[in-house]
Structure 1
């Protein structure tokens, strides 16, 4: 009996060991499978005044990644995303960027505010991580790029050219240029002022305000006394909407033109009737793209909200990064960077081809005007 009991105990121990070994083998297989997933980081403002734009970017990138996975992913590997919130704040952006690097992402997409993207370029560059920038477009990013970053949005000098063309078309001869002193708005203000003066125009006044400003009365007074026949606001929509309202309330009847950071339904909501007739230099939004109907409908169905200004371009960038990994035939970051350099990609928002400085070859800016609470193309 003792011998039989001993044998039974040995069999139980053996079964337990077998079960443990099987579980460990299964865990190892799961770990291997997870390791094969390709991680793509998304960096965007998920909190703060520009959280709506960040959410829009994240949503559209994820839509593109999900569509790619449904077709087999990248070289047969599943692509997953990890989002980091930069809040459009330089310090938080550094923390967000460091987080993505520590997560071991293969590539990063996103970036809405140039001021927040700028300090992260060294972090991603030192790590050799491919970074496709969706919204940020200050020319300061070009100088700081270590060769791994790519600007999928047209740079500030292209926007300045579009602005000057619009000023001339409308007969504006003296403009007031207003920025907030950050990398994006100060760069666009400087480039536009130089381009306009080069084209024979006059800068009536150039002012810098603080982000989060509520009272623009001092700036409004300077604009009115300067004799400007138009105002160019180069910062973001929250300040742009308030400045627009206060200019109209003070009786300013001249033209108002906004940089691309104002393409938000929130600008139209805050500005109200004062926004009617205001011009905007717009990126390629879904409402302006003839082939984006299906995307627009699916986005609304998936997220319960309309696709925002950078949704189409964000979707394209999500698609582009998977395409680059596929063309690189691996997740090797140097190979992906070379594949991005060679991109000849056609997406919802148009063509993406890069210059030797990794900037978009052709401008994607187009002027629109506020009519009836909507942005419509300028005829």
Structure 2
């Protein structure tokens, strides 16, 4: 990842680097905390699902952040940074307790995550109140930037970008005439579906709400078939999308299937069945992992034995921004927050510059359409602007 430490701080950054080295030498025991000037054994955290029905998205993010930390520690073996893992299972009800445990650790400076919008809504105020830096590589609900959480940053476009991108693809590429919209009532799913509805307008012929962890979709399928829709947009996650699409295809449903980033994972294809998922379109404000800069794709595969997945590269960038700040001597929560607020640099996914509300510069946002072909999710094109 090509990032310039001296982008705006010049000699000050060099002084900071010397200070870090000196502090590491003075604190070989790692027993102090950030309030007293100790700068070794600091930590950042991953916050997201590692278990549960949507775990693969969280695992992708965790592994991207872990790659960044492992590479950093290889280069800085005398003053390492730890990675704390907090498994939310994608459940907002667990977010408060996890966030509270993180802020209690004075060595903990920042969080890569939370991964999902629902858990972010709960956790972000707790993290922000105590000055913990937040860079989410995946939570896309626009409302997260309006909660007043001063340490919040989003490392990609939000659903106000993705929703119109998906809707424009449905109109101009698929040329759908009748669209049925489904959402799961989650902060993410409903928010994305509402954005799509707003752009499609009268093209939306009907809509339905499903429940998280629902397994029987017969009533919704009857509603979809009765609407004569030629396209379905799904606002939600792959845990429910997979059985829905399988049941819909088994019932003879032929409408094209479009969904957002919460469905963009191989687990969706495997759950629905490759034949049922064939041709499905999945949008995401994320860069195709194979198009990430530098040696990221090869490094990720070497470290994990797998191809990089959805949000792996975005998490790698989020972690590296924090690590760069720590390396430059920003070894308290306040200092790291100031560093991230003013950060400008090129990551493997995009060029980073955060606005006052924590959103990434709109010029850095791209929404991609991915397509299921031959049982695999492959990048197709950027969605029409």
Which range, TM-score by smaller chain? 0.7 to 0.9
CA RMSD in angstroms comes to 2.2
1:290–1:38 CA distance, 2 compared to 1 (3 A): closer
Q: Do structure 1's residue 166 and structure 2's residue 161 form an aligned pair? A: no
3-state secondary structure, aligned to 1:277: coil
Question: 1:300: how far off?
Answer: 2.5
> Out of 35, 58, 64, which is 1:60 matched to?
64
Question: 1:286: how far off?
Answer: 4.8
Q: Do structure 1's residue 116 and structure 2's residue 115 form an aligned pair? A: no
1:31–1:349 CA distance, 2 compared to 1 (3 A): closer
Q: Do structure 1's residue 349 and structure 2's residue 324 form an aligned pair? A: no
Please identify, of 93-102 and 46-55, the stretch whose mean Cα deviation from structure 2 is larger. 46-55
Q: Distance in 2 between the 1:288 and 1:166 partners?
A: 22
> Residues 305-358 of structure 1: CA distance to partner in whole angstroms, max 9, x if unpaired?
33211111111111111123345x321322322221222221222222222221
Bigger radius of gyration: 1
Contact 1:167–1:173 (Cα < 8 Å) also in 2: no
Q: Distance in 1 between the 2:293 and 2:317 partners?
A: 13
1:153–1:232 CA distance, 2 compared to 1 (3 A): same
Residue of structure 2 equivalent to 1:270: 271
Contact 2:292–2:313 (Cα < 8 Å) also in 1: no
Question: 1:31: how far off?
Answer: 4.1
Q: Distance in 1 between the 2:28 and 2:299 partners?
A: 36
> 5+ unaligned residues in a row in structure 1: which ranges?
1-27
3-state secondary structure, aligned to 2:355: coil
> Out of 106, 121, 130, which is 2:109 matched to?
106
1:227–1:269 CA distance, 2 compared to 1 (3 A): same
Contact 1:87–1:93 (Cα < 8 Å) also in 2: no
Q: Distance in 2 between the 1:324 and 1:161 partners?
A: 34
1:377–1:308 CA distance, 2 compared to 1 (3 A): closer
3-state secondary structure, aligned to 1:84: strand
Q: Do structure 1's residue 125 and structure 2's residue 124 form an aligned pair? A: no
> TM-score under structure 1 normalisation?
0.85
Please identify, of 183-192 and 338-347, the stretch whose mean Cα deviation from structure 2 is larger. 338-347
3-state secondary structure, aligned to 1:232: strand
1:288–1:247 CA distance, 2 compared to 1 (3 A): farther
> Residues 72-103 of structure 1: CA distance to partner in whole angstroms, max 9, x if unpaired?
38xx8421111111111112111111111112
Alignment of structure 1 residues 228-239 onto 2, 5 Å:
228-239=229-240
Q: Distance in 1 between the 2:200 and 2:272 partners?
A: 27
Q: Distance in 2 between the 1:227 and 1:301 partners?
A: 47
Q: Which protein has the bigger helix share?
A: 1
1:196–1:325 CA distance, 2 compared to 1 (3 A): farther
> TM-score under structure 2 normalisation?
0.84
Higher relative contact order (CA 8 A, sep 6+): 2
Residue of structure 1 equivalent to 2:253: 252
> 5+ unaligned residues in a row in structure 2: which ranges?
1-26
Residue of structure 2 equivalent to 1:304: 305
Contact 1:179–1:234 (Cα < 8 Å) also in 2: yes
Q: Distance in 1 between the 2:334 and 2:70 partners?
A: 25
